[in-house]
Amino acid sequence: MTNRTVLVLLDPAGEVRPSVLELLTIGRTLGRVEAVTLEAPSVEALAQLGAYGVETVHQAELPADLRGDARHLSAVVAAVLTAAVRLTDADVVLAPSTFGAKEAVALAGHALGAGVIIDAAGVAEDDAGHVVGTKRVFAGSWDTVSRVTTDVAALTVRANAVVPQPAEAAVATEVEGFAVAVDAVLPAVTARTEKARDSDRPTLEEAAVVVAGGRGTEGDFGPVEAFADAVGGAVGATRDAVFEGWFDRYIGQTGVTIAPRLYVGAGVSGAPHHRGGMQASQVIVAVNNDPEAPIFEICDFAVVGDLSDVLGQAAEVIRAHKQQA
């Protein structure tokens, strides 16, 4: 491991989500890890960061006329990342693979002349000391390795790339402010409607377990949601199921792309569009009453049967096991 400085972007609200803990775990394999944030982290967040070996958090001091949602626009985040790299002389930037972070990293990479890798599934160092990122492309059918040869490497990393691991010894974390000038012409945020979350399920993009329902549900997502709650997973759907009005978020090439540790497809046929969004999953389980369903060609475990019966029985056994534990 070379003597690099690795900057990890915290969530816009200064939170430390599981995806950030993964980035900190990866960052420690590359060098000394520091964090950059747009908002003051909480006491709990600082304790988490200290447990993962972060001694310094760089908090952006933005212009006073930037308020509310304007502070979290991609151009603003990019300006913060650019200024933080120049301040710390960082060699690597790691950020979650959210839509906003991807755009911000791309803009910052352009300003810094950095090598940019988006949606990396893994990050490591090669024998020559270069940062390399692995990616799954073409609907998960190809694995690629990209080597960054520029002075700065900027990467967004998919959730579930590694299992978060605290540092061997916790450290005291200090927050240092730094001034950021935002020269970009920013769009005006005229209105914002925040959708209330109706459950405590993890977000679809970051969940380690995803349960998806397709046409085979015939509009009844009750068994899918009950099973997802039993295993602590997120719920998604196929594009057709969303277009039918049965659910609100779909997994696919033009929808949400996921890479969970476990994917369970219930009543999902396995159309190319959906496969392109979930084929990078580490373990794929398919439940379908059609033994010829295309999804059986790519799954690790196949269950031929009625999804209501299969998911219902599985959820019951899992809940009973949790009660005994």
Task: Output the CA–CA distances (angstroms, integers) from residue 249 to 119, 216, 268, in the order listed.
Answer: 20, 17, 15
User: Rounded mean pLDDT of 173-196?
Assistant: 81
- Give the angle 304-279-93 at the CA atoms, nearest 5°: 150
Mean pLDDT is lowest, of 1-15, 203-217, 311-325, for 1-15
State phi, psi for 96 to the nearest 5 degrees: -65, 160
State phi, psi for 46 to the nearest 5 degrees: -65, -35
Predicted pLDDT of residue 300: 96
Predicted pLDDT of residue 38: 92
Beta-bridged to residue 124, according to DSSP, are 132
Check if the beta carbon of residue 7 is closer than 8 Å to that of residue 88: yes
- Kindly report the average pLDDT of the chain as a whole number: 91
Residues 83, 81: Cα–Cα separation, whole Å? 6
Residues 305, 108: Cα–Cα separation, whole Å? 50
Mean pLDDT is lowest, of 62-71, 148-157, 240-249, 268-277, for 62-71
Q: Given pLDDT bands bounded at 50, 70 and 90, which one contains residue 14?
A: low
Q: Is 140 left (phi over 0), alpha (psi -120 to 50) or beta?
A: left
Predicted pLDDT of residue 67: 72
Check if the beta carbon of residue 41 is closer than 8 Å to that of residue 182: no
Predicted pLDDT of residue 136: 78
Residues of the chain with pLDDT > 70, as a percent, come to: 95
Mean pLDDT is lowest, of 108-112, 225-229, 253-257, for 253-257
Please report the DSSP string for 194-250 in residue order. Answer: PPPP-S-PPPTTT-SEEEEE-GGGTT--HHHHHHHHHHT-EEEE-HHHHHTTS-S-B
Which domains are delineated in the chain?
A: 4-179 (3.40.50.620), 209-324 (3.40.50.1220)
Q: Given pLDDT bands bounded at 50, 70 and 90, which one contains residue 191?
A: confident
End-to-end CA distance of the chain: 41
User: Rounded mean pLDDT of 234-253?
Assistant: 94
> Which among 181, 133, 164 has a CA at the least distance from the CA of 53?
164
Which segment, 13-17, 271-275, 284-288, 321-325, is predicted with the most confidence on average?
A: 284-288
Q: Given pLDDT bands bounded at 50, 70 and 90, which one contains residue 215?
A: very high
Q: Given pLDDT bands bounded at 50, 70 and 90, which one contains residue 105?
A: very high
- In the predicted model, is pLDDT for residue 10 greater than 90? yes
What distance lies between CA 211 and its chain's CA centroid? 17
- In the predicted model, is pLDDT for residue 198 greater than 60? no
